[in-house]
Amino acid sequence: MKYIGVDIGGTTIKLGVIEDATILFVHNVPTIKKQVIKGTIAGIHELLQHAGLSLSDIQGIGLTLPGPVFDNQVSYLPNIELERLDVYQAFQEAFAGKPIVMLNDANAATIGEISKLSMPVKDAVMFTIGTGLGSGIVANYQVVEGANGQGGELGHVTLHSPYNFKCGCGKRDCAETVLSAKGIRRLATVLKPSGATKITKSSNVKQIFNQAKLGDAFALDVVNEWAKYMAQLVLQLNVITNPSVVIFGGGVANAGEFLLAKIQEAYDNAVVLPSDKRLTMRLATLGNDAGMIGAVHACMQENL
Q: Yes or no: say if 225 and 239 are a contact pair by the CB < 8 Å rule.
A: no
Exposed e or buried b per residue across 60-76, where buried means at least 16 C-beta atoms within 10 angstroms of its C-beta = bbbbbbbbbbbebebee
The 10s digit of each residue's pLDDT in 9-49 is 888 999 999 998 899 999 999 999 999 999 999 999 999 99
Q: Quick one: pLDDT at residue 118?
A: 81
What integer is the mean pLDDT of 216-233?
96
What integer best gives the mean pLDDT of the chain?
Answer: 92
Q: Quick one: pLDDT at residue 304?
A: 65
Q: List the CATH code of the domain at 2-111+288-302.
A: 3.30.420.40
For CATH 3.30.420.40, the residue range(s) in the chain are 2-111+288-302, 119-284
What single DSSP character describes residue 253?
A: G
What integer is the mean pLDDT of 2-10?
94
Q: Quick one: pLDDT at residue 71?
A: 86
pTM exceeding the 0.75 threshold for the entire prediction = yes
Homologous superfamily, domain 119-284:
ATPase, nucleotide binding domain (3.30.420.40)
Distance between alpha carbon 286 and the CA centroid of its chain, in Å?
11
Judge whether residue 72 has pLDDT over 80. Answer: yes
Distance between alpha carbon 270 and the CA centroid of its chain, in Å?
25
Closest CA relative to residue 185, chosen from 211, 158, 157, 205: 205
Q: Quick one: pLDDT at residue 6?
A: 97
Q: Yes or no: say if 136 and 104 are a contact pair by the CB < 8 Å rule.
A: yes
